[in-house]
Structures are given as C-alpha cells and as structure tokens.
Structure 1
Amino acid sequence: MRNIFSKEYTKILKKTQTNPERFSKLAVASSLIVALLISGIVLALLIFRGLPPYYAVIVFLAAFFLAFEMIKLIPAMSLRSRKAMLESDLLYSARHLLLKLESGSSLVNSLESVSTLNTKSSAYFKKLMLDISLGTPIEDAIEKAIAYSPSLAYSKILSEIKTSLETGSDLRKTIKNIVEDVTRNHLIHIQEYGKKLNPMSMFYMILGTVFPSIGTALIIVAASLLPGVLVINFTVLMFLLFMLLVVQLFFLFSFRSLKPGVME
C-alpha cells in the first residue's frame, strides 16, 4: 500500500523513523477493525430494536474517520514528546560542548563528552557518536542526525557544526552564538509562560476555589429556606463533588500543558 499521507505529515513520520507505507497500512487496518466492531454492535442493536439497519453504515463511516484521525495523532504526539525531552536540557549540553571546545578538545572528543552526560539530550548525542564510531563520516552522521531531529534548536546546533566543518570557520564562536540564541529562546518561553499563567491563575481562583465554596454555601442556605423546593441529598453532594474534581483536574492539566519544556 502506497503512502496516503501529505508531504508535511510524511516528514513527521520520517522524523519518528516510521515507514510511511507501513504506517498507512497499520492506520487503515486499525481503523477498519475499530469501525467494524462499533458498527457491528450498533447493527445488532438496530436489528434488536427493529430499526433500519442502514444507520450502521453511517456509524461505520464516522467511526472509521475518527479512528483514522486519532491514529494519525500518535506520531505527532510522539514527536512533540521527544522534542520536549530533548529541549528540556539541551542548553546544558550545548554549554558543555562549548566548554570542551574552549578548553582545547577536538570536536569528536567534545561530542563524546556531551554524550556521556547524565541529561536527556545526551541520548541524541550518543546516537550521533555511535554513527561516527561505526565509521560514518562526521558530516554524514550530522546530516542523518538533523534529518531525524525533533528539535529545531538541536538541528541548528548540528547544522552550524556541519557548516563550520565545511567552511573552516571558528567553531567555538559559532557554538557560543548558538548557546546565546538558545538561552534567549528559553527566556522568551519562560516569560510567555508567566504571561499565560496570570489569567489562568485568576480563573482557577474563581472557578476552582471561590465559586465552589460560595456556591456550596448558597445552595445550603437556599435548601434551608426552601425545604420543599430544593432538596440536597447524597446524590446531589456526590454530583457536586464530582464536578469539583473535574474542574480541579481540568486546571491541573491546563497548567501542565502551559508549562514549557525548558522548565521540566
């Protein structure tokens, strides 16, 4: 089965080292299985209730489309997760690389030193060093690492190294400029996080703290004033507790999603 995805999505698949043709087969087959299961259950219910069975066709098409779109999200989510992991401490690795270069170490030795760090980003430098140790020319190894890199910052570092090797420019100065750029980008992300955090905190104070406490008090007062109209029983209390839990979880995941990867 040929690749059925767009060029942009194919790039995402290649960065996750996923074969587009194989993923196309997997996505279509999985979507068909899910759609058949759901539409089969719906068809059985329709027949049991004496309703027209052709509604199952609509359910099949809708289930297939939804399942296919959800499966398509998996590589993108994986790439986003890898990017966050790589960029969480990439600045530390880049500074270590600059330090080794300024101390007089060769590029290969400096990259080898970075690959031994106890950081998340060092895993990508280990892959690069593995290709180099297997005999791949350093330019080709860097080109391969750039092709599979989930991070623009990491790709930029490798691209500048490759350019310096080809042109013979001062690698230390280049890496220093990149470190400064990455530092500025991190500061920008943190500042943006602070700006987003202020309104979210205000909404949380209103919806997650003030409104539940005042609302509960008002409901209790109203129930005491209107005993025959408003009745508060165990079911109502459990419903209020459930809604409060939903609100708390919503804000919890919202705050976590706003947090930039550089602060992990």
Structure 2
Amino acid sequence: MITIPFSFIPPKILERLSKHFLNWGAFLEKLFPFLQQELGKANIKISAKQYLAMSFIATFFLFLFLGFCLTIIFIESGKVLGGIFIALFLSLFVFFMQSNYPKILANRRIKKLDADLLGALRAIMIQLNSGVPLFETLVITSKQDFGELSKEIKIAVDEISGGVPQIDALERMALRNPSPYFRRALWQIINAMKEGSLINKVIENIIINLNKEQIVQIEKYGSQLSPVAMFYMMAAVIMPALGIIFLVVIVSFIELDEIVVKGIFWGLLGFVMFIQFIFMGIIKSKRPSLLEE
C-alpha cells in the first residue's frame, strides 16, 4: 500500500475513499499520461486513476486545513480571500508533487538496482565458474543482501519453482524491471542461453562493460562537480557575506527597527540552510548509479 505524501488521512481510509472518486482520477489521468508507466517502474500495484483519486482527496483535505488556518490568520486584516488563494496555491503545488512522487520512487528503485548490479553479477559468475547450476545460483543470489535486485531474482526463482521455464522467467524479469543496465544484462544472458553459449563468459563480458560504464559515470560526475561547487560558493558563501556587509552599512545610515534587522538576519540564515539542502540534493542526484551505496 502506497503512502501519499503530505496526506493527513491514513492510507487505508484514503484507499477506500478513492473508490468513490475514480471518475475524477480518470479525468486527471489525461493530464498525466505517463503516470501508469512510472507506477509500474516504482513497483506500485495500483492504477493511475486510483492514485490520482487518492492524491485529489488528500489535497482537498489539505486545502480545507490550510484554508481554515490562513483564514483565522488573515481575518483580522480583512484579507480572507488572500488566505484562501494562498491555500489554493499551496494545495495545487502539493498535488503536483504528489503526482510526481511515483517518478521519484521509480528513480530511487532504478538507482538501488544499478548500485547492486555489479556485485550480484560478480557473485553469480563466481558460482557459475565453481560449477553451480544457473538455477541454484539464482536461488543463492536471491537470498543474499543485494536489496531490490535480490527481490527481483526471488520473483524469478519462485516462477521457475512453479514450473515456468528459466528463459521465460528471465524474460519476464527483464520486461518488468526499470533499470536499463539490469535489463541489458538479462537480455544478453537470455540470448546466450538460447544459443547454448557459456553463460559465465557472457556475464564476464557484461561485468567488463559495466566497469567501463562506471568509469565514464565517475568522470562525468567529476566534471559536473566544479560548476555545482561554484554555484554553492556564490549562493551560500559570497552572497550572504556581501548581504551582511551591505546590511551593516545600510543600518549605519538608516535607522531600522530591531525586529526588521533580526528578520533579515534570520532570513539570510534560512536562505543559507535552503541552499545547503539544495546542494546536498544535487550532489546525491548526480552520483553515479553504478556505484555501490
């Protein structure tokens, strides 16, 4: 069961309520044509229209809550409509984030699969070189600590145990998983099995190619760090320092209230903290996917 971000309603209740708003979800699905694909990549077992219906209900209750709070705040100044418009704007922003949440989960899942891929392939190659059959190798790998990749292999192992041919089970795994590197490796293994080639030699070539791709990703990551570090220095160090100097000069000529000065300093602190979070997010998102976490 998926948890909708920024929702005050428990997931079970939200799922029950969403069944009465599936028509709204079907209408909103036209605005997000790729949402069903992202839900599949994130391994979320609900339809796009139901997810959008759940997001719509969660956003509606959030709008009521924000509207009530902001109305109380703005009622003394007589700007009640302003509070309602702010609540509406924030609610629409939250709904947009909720609709993109499956894409974020899908990207996280892809990175987890990529991060464990090289380690899993090395483990499989060692076992195959030791004379262990492919099925037993898959069983052993599914029980090892390779995160999402072990879960995917476990599904294939269960299918093979249930009577599905090995090639068919591997093809299903290649079709359902979102990682391009994992998919490519699986198709090469499947082709080798169909042609009767040595699988361990194919996996060895896959590992060599992935190592080369890993080096390319690391070099690209290093080249991207310089402009990001320059942006960080400008936004989080130079601009706040110049702002404080400028503020000190202004205060020496113009008498400002103590509350205003404190507010500006707190604002600068909040801005620096915001830039810190943005910088950490950029560094994390640019990190090579084939590197182990």
The residue that corresponds to 1:28 in the other structure is: 53
CA distance in 2, matches of 1:248, 1:40: 30
In the alignment, does 2:205 pair up with 1:177?
A: yes
Q: Which amino acid aligns with 1:101?
A: L
Written as runs of structure 1 = structure 2, the 5 A alignment for 1:61-140 is 69-120=96-147, 121-140=149-168
Q: Which amino acid aligns with 1:123?
A: K
Q: Which amino acid aligns with 1:112?
A: V
Describe the shift of the 1:153–1:135 C-alpha distance in structure 2 as closer, same or farther (beyond 3 A): same
CA distance in 1, matches of 2:208, 2:181: 12
State which drifts further: 206-215 or 247-256: 206-215
> Aligned-pair distance for 1:96?
1.5
Whether the aligned pair in 2 keeps the contact of 1:16 and 1:148 (CA below 8 Å) is: no
CA distance in 2, matches of 1:69, 1:83: 22
Which residue, out of 167, 187, 193, partners 2:215? 187
Q: Which amino acid aligns with 1:31?
A: F
> Aligned-pair distance for 1:63?
8.8
Written as runs of structure 1 = structure 2, the 5 A alignment for 1:196-215 is 196-215=224-243
Whether the aligned pair in 2 keeps the contact of 1:15 and 1:149 (CA below 8 Å) is: yes
Whether the aligned pair in 1 keeps the contact of 2:42 and 2:109 (CA below 8 Å) is: no
Which residue, out of 177, 180, 196, partners 1:152? 180
> Aligned-pair distance for 1:230?
5.9
Which residue, out of 226, 242, 254, partners 2:270? 242
State which drifts further: 146-155 or 239-248: 239-248
RMSD across aligned positions (CA): 3.6
CA distance in 2, matches of 1:214, 1:67: 34
Whether the aligned pair in 2 keeps the contact of 1:115 and 1:123 (CA below 8 Å) is: yes
> Aligned-pair distance for 1:94?
0.9
Whether the aligned pair in 1 keeps the contact of 2:141 and 2:153 (CA below 8 Å) is: yes
The residue that corresponds to 1:38 in the other structure is: 63
Describe the shift of the 1:119–1:33 C-alpha distance in structure 2 as closer, same or farther (beyond 3 A): closer
CA distance in 1, matches of 2:54, 2:263: 44
State which drifts further: 211-220 or 87-96: 211-220
CA distance in 2, matches of 1:259, 1:167: 37
Q: Which amino acid aligns with 1:187?
A: I
Whether the aligned pair in 1 keeps the contact of 2:110 and 2:178 (CA below 8 Å) is: yes
State which drifts further: 143-152 or 25-34: 25-34
List alignment gaps of at least 5 residues for structure 2. Answer: 1-21
Describe the shift of the 1:90–1:245 C-alpha distance in structure 2 as closer, same or farther (beyond 3 A): same
State which drifts further: 161-170 or 29-38: 29-38
Describe the shift of the 1:262–1:10 C-alpha distance in structure 2 as closer, same or farther (beyond 3 A): same
**Secondary structure at 2:38's aligned position in 1?**
helix
Describe the shift of the 1:102–1:245 C-alpha distance in structure 2 as closer, same or farther (beyond 3 A): same
> Aligned-pair distance for 1:91?
0.7
**Secondary structure at 1:261's aligned position in 2?**
coil
CA distance in 1, matches of 2:55, 2:277: 31
Scaled by the length of structure 2, what TM-score is found? Answer: 0.70
Whether the aligned pair in 2 keeps the contact of 1:116 and 1:122 (CA below 8 Å) is: yes
Whether the aligned pair in 2 keeps the contact of 1:35 and 1:63 (CA below 8 Å) is: no
State which drifts further: 11-20 or 188-197: 11-20
State which drifts further: 206-215 or 226-235: 226-235
